[in-house]
Amino acid sequence: MQYFLLFVCLVLTGCTQTPYRLPYVNGTEVEVMQDHTTHSTPTAEMFDIRATSANQTLAAAKAGWVRFIKDSGNSSASTNNYVWIEHPLNYCQPPGSAAPGTEIAIPCKRCNKGLGRCNEWTLYAHMVEDSVTAAAGAGLSVGDWVTTGQPIGVEGDVGFTPCGASVTPLCGRHVHFAVWRFEVDSLLARPSQDGDYEDYVDMYGRPELVPRFCTSTGLRYPRQGDVYVVADCP
């Protein structure tokens, strides 16, 4: 099955440049509620993942710059809470960026396409109110550099968290996770009008990528119903 998923990733949909860790702190047991083939809202190539116990801390799936934050929503009736992180996998911080962050300590190329267009981004949504920016939470601000596995907030149920026919009913707390690569000039060009994360993207100008995740049992393309204990990438 893993070889088949690799074929699909490489040939049909596109996969990430490098593996990502599961977006929770080490030792958290998580269940994949929807995978990149079963997720349908707003589109596939996304994941819904939930810790098997409540109040679990989310973590950066890879090192990068925090680009967008919203964590003022407080219920499932609110607009979404989220974090966007740009990961400089092959490319350094572009010159003239409004949020220079910290340069990565490996050789890298400059991006000649502007902010973010050469790199991969991860999205984390439905987070608990104030768990990202508050001093008692992760204490993050836009422009901060986060390391792989660094806490970025708490899994929550803010925003659109509908029930669905997954392994267990998909309602309430979970993290909506996706990896993106932007390819058009209009990316991230306007502020959100209603506070939801989709307003920050050009829906027709970027592919979503299928990540391989580092898990406690090695590199995997997680499938709906899989249960893992979160661990660092080797």
Residues of the chain with pLDDT under 50: 1-8, 10-12, 96, 98-103, 165-169, 184-205
Per-domain boundaries in the chain: 1-222
Burial class (CB in 10 A: 0-12, 13-18, 19+), 27: exposed
Extract the tokens encoding 67. 């680009």
Number of neighbouring beta carbons within 10 Å of residue 199: 14
* Half-sphere CA count of 80, side-chain side, radius 13 A: 24
What does DSSP assign to residue 101?
-
Spatial neighbors of 59 by CB under 8 A, at least 6 apart, are 21, 23, 24, 25, 26, 149, 150, 151, 152, 230
**pLDDT number for residue 91:** 67
Distance CA 163, CA 43 (A): 16
**pLDDT number for residue 112:** 64
Distance CA 199, CA 189 (A): 10
Number of neighbouring beta carbons within 10 Å of residue 96: 8
Which stretches within the chain are classed as H helix? 2-7
The Cα-based distances of 96 to 22, 88, 92, 109 in angstroms read: 32, 16, 12, 15
Distance CA 60, CA 81 (A): 16
Cα torsion angle, 10, 13, 17, 21, sign: negative
Pairing of strands 208-209, 82-87: unpaired
Spatial neighbors of 107 by CB under 8 A, at least 6 apart, are none
**pLDDT number for residue 209:** 81
Q: Mapping DSSP to helix (H, G, I), strand (E, B) and coil, where does residue 10 land?
A: helix
Nearest partner of 177 among 83, 104, 90, judged by Cα: 83
**pLDDT number for residue 114:** 58
**pLDDT number for residue 215:** 82
Which fold would CATH assign to domain 1-222?
Answer: Glucose Permease (Domain IIA) (2.70.70)
